[in-house]
Structure 1
Amino acid sequence: MKPSTSGKPPLSVPPSAHPAPARADTPYPEVLPADGSAPDYPAVLPAEPFAEVLPVEEVPVLQPADEVTSVEDNRGLTPPARRLGVWRRITSGCEWVFGAISLMVGLAVLAPLPLLQFFTFGYLLEAGGRVARTGRLREGFPGVRMAARLGGIVLGAWLVMLPLQAVSSLWVSAQIIDPYGLAARRWKAVLMFLTIAAAFHIMAACSRGGRLRYFFWPFNLFWLIRRWWRGGYYTEARDAVWNLFVSLRLPYYFWLGLRGFVGSFLWLAVPVTLFALGRQAPLLGFVGALLLAWVVLYMPFLQIHFAVANRFRELFNLRAVRAAFARAPWAFGFALLITLLFALPLYLLKIEMIPREAAWLPSLIFMAFIFPARLLTGWAFGRARRRPLPRHWFFRWTSRLGMVPVALVYVLLVFFTQYTVWGGIWSLYEQHAFLLPVPFFGM
């Protein structure tokens, strides 16, 4: 290329027309002159496009040591939100414990009542099934929050009724002394007034939500005016009562308990009958004892498998139980040991007949023993569900060698109970560890 003779500077290609790729060591593009001469390095671009560097004094520096908050001082500082969260966790834990206690008491009250026993039995099956499905023991308390609300209503109503009981006792005493006297008439009037006031008190506490604290201060004038002004109070109260009834799932628990009882009784009927005939025919009693020990090995886990699948035929699926045992043999052995061990002390309560009015007290002891055993059985079955492969033969056979003697010892102790309990030979059909959740059938 010849140099230009016009005296004008050579034309160069604008950088924007053919941009050269930027390199890591050259932060600016190179432009070749039109005459082919090499440019003078370094080609310095104008400084205006570059960001201005902050002076040293404007660069943020670390805070001085006296302005930094120490860790020790920060530990003592609790924000309001954190205090509120801690308080909510504490109240939630207390509510859960109160709900669990209310749940156990409610199930114990239903356990000795005919037909209502199936609600308790169905709940026990569902609790074990939930633990088996989720693998978490805390899932074995379905409806514990609702039980806390209902338990609070019952406890609050009982506290409100205490003055009525005291006044009623005074009125009865006054009637015995002088039926037509002035004192008897006055105490009767006071009793009627307190009865009406207690009824309104309980209704007001339940209308505000039924929590226990509302029974100590049920009347809130501002809340009542605001609710009546907003309207729809009756509709909301009606829907809340209906939703509460539906959330209890009473038909589900009854149907689950009824099917579980029928299937378990079909398993136990023949072995227990042969076992009971051992007095007249010792050979039949021996065969019945062996059959009962064999059924005892499978019965707790068949019930949990039925609760997990919610199908009646799963109560007879021995193959599924064997496969689950192979994946968690020691857990199955431990669950069987606790189940049978916790069932034995309840036979001591059947030595003498207990009055029907106090039947729920032994049932409470029954729930305290049987309910943890159900949860533990569900945990063992859930442990097997989470493992895809069977365990080593050493664990399987050591578990079998421990489970078989446990079942035989249990059957032997049950055989001697027919001579100690007041029900005699018919007590062998109760089998409260597997059948209806009541240790006193027929009370």
Structure 2
Amino acid sequence: MSESLLMPVLPPPPPAEVPAQVEAGPVAALKKRGFLAWVGSALDWVFGFVALIALLAACSVIPVLNFLSLGYLLHVSGTVARTGRLRDGFIGVRKASVIGTVAAGAWLVLWPARLVAGFWRDAELVAPGSGVARAWHVGLIVLTVVTFLHLFWAGIRGGRLWHFLWPQPLRFRRWLREPRKFGKLQDMLTNYVLGLRLPFYFWLGIRGFIGALVWLIVPVGILMVATRLPVGGSLLLSLPGGLLLFIVAIHLPFLQAHFAETGRFRAIFELREIRRLFLRAPLAFWLALLTTLLLAVPLYLLKIELTPQELAWLPSVLFVLFIFPARLLTGWAVGRARRREAPRHWFPRWVARLGILPVALVYVLVVYFTPYLSWNGVLSLLEQHAFLVPAPLMAL
């Protein structure tokens, strides 16, 4: 027999071990880059949300543009009602991040020009027409031209904060040699502006405002008339006005979400549909109504004193911050009800009904006493922040 057959069969040698630092190096680098990318994306989202709130607040204090703010908030409710996910209500955060970073980057880049402008003014005050003053003036002109070129180039590159901090002049020179650079720039701006969907938000806001006004005009009108009557007549007339406002307040947020979800103006008057949806998700409806009316109450305290015109945007930030979560939860409640086919048990339905009573009653009482506390008097009854534009109408 061959000797090779008598030899024992040995197992194959184990693969050569790779040093731990060699194996972990690229993997650790990839994980680190992934973590840093996640952190950068999260910070960009947070910055975009802050910029979005600031933009909504700025639009809410400008007549006509305030319909954009209302339309966006209605679209938030409608989107969440369609998908059933709260995260889908944070619409346009990444686009708002671009606007926010452009504003922040421009503010940073303009600082050198501001300093040089201050030196030039000081030189003119000390020695008008002197060589030093002229030198500062020439320097200011040159720095202003360079600054605006830098702002233009940073905006073309994407408008991120690092684009403002590092100009990349060599890349700018290569860009100047490109044949279709201005055509590409026009396409980029057009796509960005169209992606904002401003006409859609404006039209949605106008229709939502008109629909809410139709619901509110009778109870609010009765309360406005009651304030001009003697005490006895005022109390008698305020009872039916307050009762009507009570009924409207517990239905209107969900009617607006239903309207924004379907896109039909007639949907804002489909009261029977909202009552049917309430039976399927009563506790969700109660939570959404509690949030909507409870967060609207502190906004009336901001109207005790007249806000200066130059600071009108500051209270509007609080208005948007308080109304935004209310719109999210309202859409969530409607979407939750849509995904259920049968009404809930009688016990949660009656718990929700009994819970709605004190919530809506407190809201009606706050609205009733508003004319006696607000700077705008009886006209403050027209400022229904929970349903109309997210800013005091009389301050616009």
* TM, length-normalised to structure 1: 0.81
The one-letter amino acid paired with 2:316 is: S
Aligned residue pair count:
384
Identify the match of residue 348 of structure 2 among 395, 418, 426.
Answer: 395
Q: Is the 8 A contact 1:112 1:441 kept in 2?
A: no
Assess, with a 3 A threshold, how the Cα gap between structure 1 residues 441 and 184 changes in structure 2: closer, same or farther: farther
1:352-391 to 2 correspondences below 5 Å: 352-391=305-344
Identify the match of residue 335 of structure 1 among 288, 307, 320.
Answer: 288
1:38-437 to 2 correspondences below 5 Å: 57=9, 78-176=27-125, 179-221=128-170, 223-228=171-176, 231-279=179-227, 280=229, 281-282=233-234, 283-437=236-390
The one-letter amino acid paired with 1:207 is: I
For residues 384 and 8 of structure 2, what CA distance do their matches in structure 1 show?
87
For residues 25 and 188 of structure 2, what CA distance do their matches in structure 1 show?
44
**Structure 2: 5+ residue stretches without partners:** 1-6
| SS of the residue 1:432 aligns to | coil
The one-letter amino acid paired with 1:157 is: A
CA deviation vs aligned residue, 1:289-317 (integer Å, no higher than 9, x gap): 00001000001101100110011000001
For residues 184 and 77 of structure 1, what CA distance do their matches in structure 2 show?
57
Aligned-residue Cα RMSD (Å) equals 2.6
Assess, with a 3 A threshold, how the Cα gap between structure 1 residues 197 and 75 changes in structure 2: closer, same or farther: closer
| SS of the residue 1:110 aligns to | helix
Q: Percent identity?
A: 49
For residues 287 and 304 of structure 1, what CA distance do their matches in structure 2 show?
26
CA deviation vs aligned residue, 1:333-384 (integer Å, no higher than 9, x gap): 0111111111111111111111111111111111111111111111111111
The one-letter amino acid paired with 1:368 is: L
For residues 306 and 175 of structure 1, what CA distance do their matches in structure 2 show?
62
| SS of the residue 1:255 aligns to | helix
Q: Is the 8 A contact 2:123 2:132 kept in 1?
A: yes
CA deviation vs aligned residue, 1:36-74 (integer Å, no higher than 9, x gap): xxxxxxxxxxxxxxxxxxx9837779x69x97999xxx9
The one-letter amino acid paired with 1:421 is: S
For residues 157 and 424 of structure 1, what CA distance do their matches in structure 2 show?
42
Once the two structures are TM-superposed, the CA of residue 387 in structure 1 deviates from its matched residue by 1.2
Assess, with a 3 A threshold, how the Cα gap between structure 1 residues 264 and 213 changes in structure 2: closer, same or farther: same
Once the two structures are TM-superposed, the CA of residue 189 in structure 1 deviates from its matched residue by 2.7
Once the two structures are TM-superposed, the CA of residue 76 in structure 1 deviates from its matched residue by 10
| SS of the residue 1:57 aligns to | coil
Assess, with a 3 A threshold, how the Cα gap between structure 1 residues 215 and 179 changes in structure 2: closer, same or farther: same
| SS of the residue 2:372 aligns to | coil
Structure showing the higher helix proportion among its residues = 2
For residues 128 and 437 of structure 1, what CA distance do their matches in structure 2 show?
15
**Bigger RCO of structures 1 and 2 (CA < 8 A, at least 6 apart):** 2
For residues 9 and 38 of structure 2, what CA distance do their matches in structure 1 show?
49
Assess, with a 3 A threshold, how the Cα gap between structure 1 residues 174 and 355 changes in structure 2: closer, same or farther: farther
Assess, with a 3 A threshold, how the Cα gap between structure 1 residues 329 and 76 changes in structure 2: closer, same or farther: farther
Q: Is the 8 A contact 2:77 2:257 kept in 1?
A: yes
Q: Which of structures 1 and 2 has the bigger CA Rg?
A: 1
Q: Aligned residue for 1:39?
A: none
For residues 222 and 30 of structure 2, what CA distance do their matches in structure 1 show?
67
| SS of the residue 1:336 aligns to | helix
Q: Is the 8 A contact 2:312 2:395 kept in 1?
A: no
